[in-house]
Amino acid sequence: MKRAYSILIAVCVCLWSACGYQFAGTTPLPQGIQSVSFAEFSNHTLETGVEKELQWAIEREFRTRRNIRVTDTGEGVISAQLQTLELRPFSFDRRDQVLEYELVLALDIQLTDRGSGKVLWQADNLRVTEYYSAIPQVLVTTSPEFLQGTLNPGDLPGLSDVQFSETQRSLAVGRLFVAAAREVSYRLGDNF
């Protein structure tokens, strides 16, 4: 019985390794790239400074979840162009008051070999979406998004709707960039 169990485990390990499945963060970069650097991201949106926030989010993702060295002279160079950062009303009450907003980020991103200048990977029109509550009355104070923020449920009555909405928007933009960084990391690993 013990031998049959050992054989079964060996077969499963062989099949598992043959299927190409790997743990998140362990997929190598193309062409043996071991380190990356970041070119200055371009920003075609109306929001100033968001290109830096996105770059920092992607750098954190690479350093922590992918365990890739980020240096000033990396073998691969990551560059991105933020095309749009749109804010749209998403849900309304019966009086057409906005209850929830949708943030949509669209960007083009690529990995280039520093030595040859050859594009090794690219994703055009990558879109990431995040939502946030516009008024405190529709906020779920037990949601993970709220609990990760800096507001306490007791603070809500003292905020105007505008203050609340701007606070929620700022937090949603941060979550949007984290989601974009994870999507870039996933797609980069998924394609190789």
pLDDT of 7 reads 57
Residue pair 135/99 in contact by the 8 Å Cβ criterion: yes
Residue corresponding to tokens 């974009």: 180
Give me the residue spans of the domains in the chain.
Answer: 28-190
Cα–Cα distance between 126 and 184 in angstroms, integer?
8
Element (H, E) at 157: none
Please tell me what DSSP assigns to residue 107: E
Q: Which amino acid is at 125?
A: N
Q: Which uninterrupted H or E stretch holds 120?
A: strand 119-133
One pLDDT digit (tens) per residue for the chain, 192 residues:
666 555 556 555 555 544 444 444 445 677 778 899 999 999 999 999 999 999 999 999 999 877 788 999 999 999 999 999 999 999 888 988 888 999 999 999 999 999 999 999 999 999 999 998 887 655 555 666 555 666 665 665 556 667 777 888 888 999 999 999 999 999 987 654
Distance from C-alpha of 90 to C-alpha of 148, rounded to nearest angstrom:
22
In this prediction, residue 163 carries a pLDDT of 78
Whether the CB-CB separation of 99 and 60 falls below 8 Å is answered with: no
Tell me the CATH class for 28-190. Answer: alpha beta
- The Cα 188–Cα 192 span in angstroms is 7
Crossing angle for the helix pair 50-64 and 161-190, to the nearest 10 degrees: 50
